[in-house]
Each structure stands twice: as C-alpha cells, then as structure tokens.
Chain A
Amino acid sequence: MLLQSQLPNSLALAPVLVLALTALLLLVVDSIDPDSTNSAALAGISVVGALTSLGFAGWFLSAGTGQVSTGGGISLYGEALVVDGMALFFMAIFASVTAMVAIGSYDYLRGKPHQAEFYTLVMFAATGMGLMAAANSLATAFVALELASLPSYALVAFLKKNRGSVEAGLKYFLIGAVSSAVFVFGISLVYAATGSMVFSDVAEALNGTEFVGVAGLGVLMIAGGFAFKTASVPFHFWAPEAYEGAPAPISAFLSSASKAAGFAVAFRVFTEAFALSAIPAGIDWVLLFQILAVVTMTLGNFAAATQENVKRMLAYSSIGHAGYALIGLAALSAGSAQNGNVMGASMAHLLVYGFMNTGAFLFIALTEHWDIGRRFEDFNGLGSQAPVACAAMTVFMFSLAGLPPFGGFFSKYFLFAGAIGAGFWWLAAVGAVNSALSLFYYSRVVKAIWIEDPSGEFQITSKPIGLYAAVMIAALGTLVLLPGFGPVIEMAQTAATALFA
C-alpha cells in the first residue's frame, strides 16, 4: 500500500530503471576512460546495478506493489506498460541471472578489450527483457523485444577474432531479423483487424470481429516471433549454434534470461490481448501451443541425447526446457479455474531454470577458462581436480533432469500436476517421458566428471574467483529453492491467476 499511495506510479518500474541507469553509467565510465581494463570496477558496477534491481523487484513483490492485494496492476504511460505480480516476478529472474552473468564475466573477459561495452550491452539487454515483462501494448512489446535482441546479437559475436563466435552471431542475427519481421507483420495484421495495439482494446475488438482470417494469421505470426525468442520449434535452429559459439556467460544469459523474457511477453499477450474468452472460435492458439510444446520437448531432448559436445548438449536441453515451459500456454482452456496454476507453475519453472541453467553454462565458462575441451570425454576425471565446481555441476545436471531432491523436480512436478489438473494428462505424460530421457544425457556429464578416469593431464593452474562465485551462487539458488519453493510457487500462481481475472 505504501508505494501506491505515497510514491509516483512510475517508480513501480524501478527494477527496470535501475538496469537502464547502470547501463548509462557504464557508458559514462567508458567515455571517461575508454581503454580501461579495470574489469573489477566495470563488473562491480554491473553486479551492484543488477542486485539493486533484484532488491527493488523483491521489495515490490513482498510489499504487494501492483498485485491483487493492493488493487491490481499499475498501468503507466497510457496503458503502454503495466507493472503487476507477473512483471515483477520475471524482473527478479532477469536481475538474478544478470548478476550471476556479470560476476562470471569478470574472469571470462580478463585481458580482452571492450569490456565496458560488453557490460553495457548486457545491461541494455536486461532492460529490454524487464520491459518485455511489463509490456501492455503490442507496440511496447515489439520495441522491448528489439531492445533485448539487438544487444544480444552483438554480444554473441563479441569475440570478433573467433570464427565460431562470429558465425554464431551471424546466424542468430539473420534468424532474429527474419523473425522480428514476421512478428511485426503479425502485429500489423492484428492492428488491421482491430485498429488498436493496447492489449485490452485488442481483446475487446477481437470479440465478435468479422476479420477472423486476418486476425488469425496475425496471431500465428506473433506466436512465431515468440517462438524465436524462447527458442522453440519452428524458430529454434539458431539456438545450438548461437549458444555453442557465443562466449559462455552470454550463452547462459541468452538461454536463461532471454528465454524467460520471451515467455513473459507471450504469457501476457496471449492471456490479455488474445484472451480465450474473447477470441473468435476460429483462432485456436491453444492447439498451436500444444503442438509446439510436444514437438519442442521431444525434438530438444532427442537432439540433446545425440550430442558429443557438452555446450551443444546444453543448448538442445534448453530447447527441451522451452517445451516444458510452453505447457503453461498449452494447458489452458477458456474459463478454467486451473489456468492460473498451470501458468504459475511454468513461471516458477523458468525461475528455477534461470538458476540451474545459468549455473551449468557458467561451469562451461569455467572449463573454457581452463582450456578444457568441450566434449564429454574431455571432462573425464575433472571431479578429482576441481571437486567444488564439479559438485555444483552435478547439482545443476540432476536439477535440470528433474531428480527429486532438487529445485528442478518441484517446478516440473507442479507443472505436470497443473497440466493433469487442467485435464491435459497427455501433455504431462509427454513431459515426463522426455524428462526420463533427459536423465540419460545429463548423467553422462556426471559420469564423465566423477567416474571416468582422466584421459589426459589438466592444466588447472588458476582459481578464477568470479566464475567460482557465480557457479556457487547458482548452485545455492538451485538448492535454496528447495525449502523456499512453497512461497515461490504460491507467488507465481497468484500472479498468473491475476492475468485471467
């Protein structure tokens, strides 16, 4: 109550504003001292900025800003943006991932030029993601999506003398450019059918519209734009290349935060603008997401099982996880009381995923720092050399697979239980079978680390503090979410239920 009555409404955007100001501050630092290699200061500013943003998001979430208990979402700038429980929940995810990535980048970037630009781009991308979660109009959704995408293209190609990184950046950019063109054409068709961009007005105009065909094509194309951002079928094929070639902290950033951002905006667009209760019967987007969820899960997991390269395996597993999260959109039905539970479980899964997947990619960053190869065999016997980091990696792998004592188990459990509760038992069944399959390739990493004998000598001479700290924080996050999962899932489900009200 405090915030809403005493402070200006626009301060509800504080988690995003802090990220944007941090990015600008980094630019100022860079212009004062352009050739700075003082990475501690740059990483420090980024981490403090991300943590402040996380602090604001956490404070607002606990104070009830924009949530049902204090009168619902705060809409800003003529309903272009809205800050509610869901937006704040996702902003917390983005801020935590950004903080971990910034800590990990400190060691990863040692001795490389243009460090200030790197952190600036990360911060701007995080700002865009936060805005995506708050977007309440197709116009802001598109601008925010581009604000998140454009810095990401540059970040993937950041190692300009590394052919893999440049190739990854090129492919990410090409597919991104096409899918954003498809997305904006979809918006133009929806605008043609409804004459509006604000979600609530679009929903109103769609109710009983005579332009079902045009609107339907528009909805389909907008879904395509989100499929790119979340790395789901049919716009998934950039992901293995981009994640493999990109600097590992950026792979972590893209596969966790960027994916969650895609889901954040998709959740809001499809519940508010294309609400099931208002949309003409001919536009059955739930069926579309059911197909996409099943295909994405299956394709991601099967492709991951055939990989020999750990980073690429993680990339495909990240496609598989996009499939699980899609259940949050696929298991909906008009007027069902279960809708909020399923979508909330999907949000909680994205939070847990944010920690465990970021951690797994940062572990890869650690091995790249040590010049260990990328194949499974190269990891043989690593456990005896770096037991602490490897224990953390084991936690990530088992959590990603969804084994019982870890955070990933609870989020998947609630997700599948929600799908069954909503009457989509077959979605849960496909998800469970895929999870069982995923255990195969995740346990290969664990087996290589702990059981296999080393095939060669490791040259582990340095102990990169930043990367170690980031991996540990991610592991801690995955583990703390065990006892803390009750409040998290409750918060997520309340926030999601508010969308359907």
Chain B
Amino acid sequence: MVPAEWYLLLAAAVFCIGLIGILTRRNALLFLMSVELMLNAANINFVAFSYQWGNVTGQTFGLFTMALAAAEVAIGIGIILVLYRNFDDIDVTKATTMRW
C-alpha cells in the first residue's frame, strides 16, 4: 500500500499547479480549468484518506465536490458568456470599467 504521505504530496502538487495557473493565466476559461485542478486536488485527499481511515465520509464528500464544481462551472460559463458579449474578449484583465 502506498503510504498516505505520498497522496498528500500529490494533492499539494496538483493544488499548486492550479494555483500557479490562476496567477499566470489571463484567459477566463483556463482560469476555470485551474480552479478545477485545485478542487480535484482536494478530491485526491478525500478519497485517499477515506481509505486510510476506513470510512466513506471522504468518498461521499468527493462526489459532493464534483457536483458543486459542475454547478460552479455552469455559472462561470454564463458569466464568461456575458463578459464576451460586453467586452468582446474573455481576458480577465480587460474588464476594467472600475479600478481593479
């Protein structure tokens, strides 16, 4: 069996990749994908430690997270769509009617 620490490391690495993606990408869709990576990093932890602790709380919560991530993307795409209609671009740094 793979020791639990390795799962923590993998999750942390995926989380950091997502975080770096958020900080460097300007395209709103890539931004969404980066958030998705961060959420799935949490899912890795949930599933791995669910096995480790011998209860299904974590696995169940992993399903919750996936459903909520899908809902979040649905709202996000909607907002990105109106962003494109108003600003003709999905670059998140272009929308600056107010100060950022």
Contacts and interface: CB of A to CB of B under 8 A. Distances in A.
Nearest to A205: B53
Contact of A178 (B22, B71, B79): B22
B65 A184 contact: yes
A196 B46 CA distance: 11
A157 B41 CA distance: 29
B17 interface: no
Interface string A184-195: 110111011001
Contact of A143 (B46, B64, B79, B87): B64
Contacts of B46: 188, 191
A182 interface: yes
A143 B45 contact: no
Interface residues of A, number: 40
Interface string B75-92: 110111011011100001
Contacts of A185: 11, 15, 38, 41-42, 45
Given A142-B64, A161-B86, A241-B98, A187 B42 contact: yes
Contact of B45 (A154, A178, A189, A197): A189
Interface string B17-34: 010001000001001100
Contacts of A150: 71-72, 75
A192 B49 contact: yes
A154 B66 CA distance: 20
A383 interface: no
A191 B49 contact: yes
A187 B42 CA distance: 8
A178 B64 contact: no
Contact of A166 (B43, B53, B76, B83): B83
Interface string B53-79: 101011011001100100110011011
Contact of A181 (B18, B55, B75): B18
B44 to A, nearest CB: 8
A177 interface: yes
Contacts of B31: 174
Give the interface centre of B28, B35, B95 by most chain A CB atoms within 10 Å: B95
A110 interface: no
A491 to B, nearest CB: 34
A197 B57 contact: yes
B43 to A, nearest CB: 8
Interface of B: 4, 8, 11, 15, 18, 22, 28, 31-32, 35, 38-39, 41-43, 45-46, 48-49, 52-53, 55, 57-58, 60-61, 64-65, 68, 71-72, 75-76, 78-80, 82-83, 85-87, 92, 95-100
Interface of A: 139, 142-143, 146, 150, 153-154, 157, 160-161, 163-164, 166-171, 173-174, 177-178, 180-182, 184-185, 187-189, 191-192, 195-197, 214, 240-241, 244-245
Given A154-B75, A240-B98, 13 more contacts: A146-B71, A157-B82, A166-B79, A167-B86, A181-B42, A185-B42, A188-B11, A188-B42, A191-B49, A191-B58, A192-B45, A196-B57, A241-B99
